[in-house]
């Protein structure tokens, strides 16, 4: 199976409260830093299919949340810890780009962004949220808690992990090459030759129901919500609430996508995002 081609990448590390946080710089044109924030039990490489396409409008930098990817694990996975980390990345991006960054965030990463807006609204050039629920409900949390409760077993080989890899919640449209690429970057080798998951699955173990509406009401930057047409994360009632309360927010649905929109339909997602960003950055 062929590898996904990605241009030169630069590792970036910042530290907050003794936790070392990792980002991947895709380089790019003059313009704002574009922070890319993944979802639960994922990592920065989930953006590899779309980040290069954003480099003409700015500098895409994909972030590993604490407990994910190449960032440190932690004893604290509360929202204040995640939002504090995101604030630190926004400050870094401001200093690097000479102005407010943009933020593109999927699923739990988007929930973190909305929670930050509720607690301390950041200065952003734009905000793109990808299939982020209005509420992190028990319906969504129950399977996440079950996954978090299962310990990560070591895998005999990286190839076996790639073979068995699947996304949660399930989707059917992502290219096999892209899923294999994501899987290869999801595990690290152990001293005994086996492989283990990079993500600390326990981070969702004590997650509570969370309403993201207060965060939505404090978003001040131009914002777009991209919804997977086959995803169950947002109901018709959720979208009606957003259209009624935030008529300035652009809402787009990609019919063929499940929850992991940027994996299922990367070209359609990139087209929508570039159109939105071009209208803001031109």
Model confidence pLDDT, tens digit, residues 172-199: 789 999 999 999 999 999 999 999 999 9
Q: Helix, strand, or coil here: 190?
A: coil
Contact 60, 34 (CB under 8 A): yes
Classify residue 202: in a domain, yes or no.
Answer: no
Classify residue 88: in a domain, yes or no.
Answer: yes
Tell me the average pLDDT across 65-76: 97
Classify residue 169: in a domain, yes or no.
Answer: no
CA distances from 25 to 48, 55, 244 (A): 11, 10, 37
d(CA 264, CA 204): 24
**Structural domain span for residue 41:** 10-137+208-281
Classify residue 196: in a domain, yes or no.
Answer: no
Using 50, 70 and 90 to split pLDDT, how confident is the model at 3?
A: low
Classify residue 152: in a domain, yes or no.
Answer: no
Does the reported pTM lie above 0.75? yes
Classify residue 192: in a domain, yes or no.
Answer: no
Contact 7, 27 (CB under 8 A): yes
* Eight-state DSSP code of residue 71: S
pLDDT of residue 7: 77
How many structural domains is the chain composed of? 1
Instruction: Give residue-wise pLDDT tens across range 261-276.
Output: 999 999 999 999 999 9
Whether 142 has a pLDDT exceeding 60, the answer reads: yes
List 15's β-bridge partners, or say none: 20
Classify residue 143: in a domain, yes or no.
Answer: no
72 burial (CB, 10 Å; 0-12 / 13-18 / 19+) is middle
What is the CATH classification number for the domain harbouring 71? Answer: 3.40.50.1820
CB atoms inside a 10 Å sphere around CB 26? 25
d(CA 49, CA 51): 6
Q: Helix, strand, or coil here: 111?
A: helix
Whether 50 has a pLDDT exceeding 80, the answer reads: yes
* Closest among 115, 131, 71 to 261, alpha carbons compared: 131
Classify residue 221: in a domain, yes or no.
Answer: yes
């Amino acid at each position: 199976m062929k590898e996904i081609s990605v241009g030169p990448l630069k590792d970036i590390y910042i530290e907050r409260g003794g936790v070392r946080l990792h980002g991947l710089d895709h380089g790019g044109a003059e313009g704002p830093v574009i922070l890319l924030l993944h979802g639960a039990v994922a990592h920065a490489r989930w953006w590899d299919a779309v980040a290069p396409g954003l480099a003409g409008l700015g500098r895409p930098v994909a972030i590993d949340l604490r407990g994910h990817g190449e960032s440190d694990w932690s004893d604290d996975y509360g929202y204040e810890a995640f939002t504090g980390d995101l604030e630190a990345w926004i400050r870094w991006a401001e200093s690097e780009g000479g102005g407010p960054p943009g933020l593109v965030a999927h699923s739990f990463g988007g929930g973190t962004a909305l929670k930050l807006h509720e607690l301390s609204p950041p200065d952003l050039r734009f905000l793109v949220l990808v299939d982020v629920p209005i509420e992190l409900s028990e319906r969504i949390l129950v399977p996440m808690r079950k996954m978090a409760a299962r310990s990560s077993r070591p895998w005999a080989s990286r190839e076996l992990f790639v073979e068995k890899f699947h996304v949660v919640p399930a989707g059917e449209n992502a290219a096999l090459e892209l899923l294999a690429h994501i899987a290869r970057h999801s595990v690290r080798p152990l001293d005994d030759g086996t492989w283990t998951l990079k993500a600390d699955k326990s981070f969702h173990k004590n997650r509570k129901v969370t309403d993201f509406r207060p965060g939505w009401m404090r978003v001040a930057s131009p914002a777009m919500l991209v919804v997977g047409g086959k995803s169950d994360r947002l109901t018709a009632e959720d979208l009606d609430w957003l259209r009624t309360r935030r008529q300035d927010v652009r809402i787009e649905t990609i019919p063929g996508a499940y929850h992991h929109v940027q994996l299922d339909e990367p070209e359609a997602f990139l087209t929508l995002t570039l159109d939105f960003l071009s209208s803001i950055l031109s």
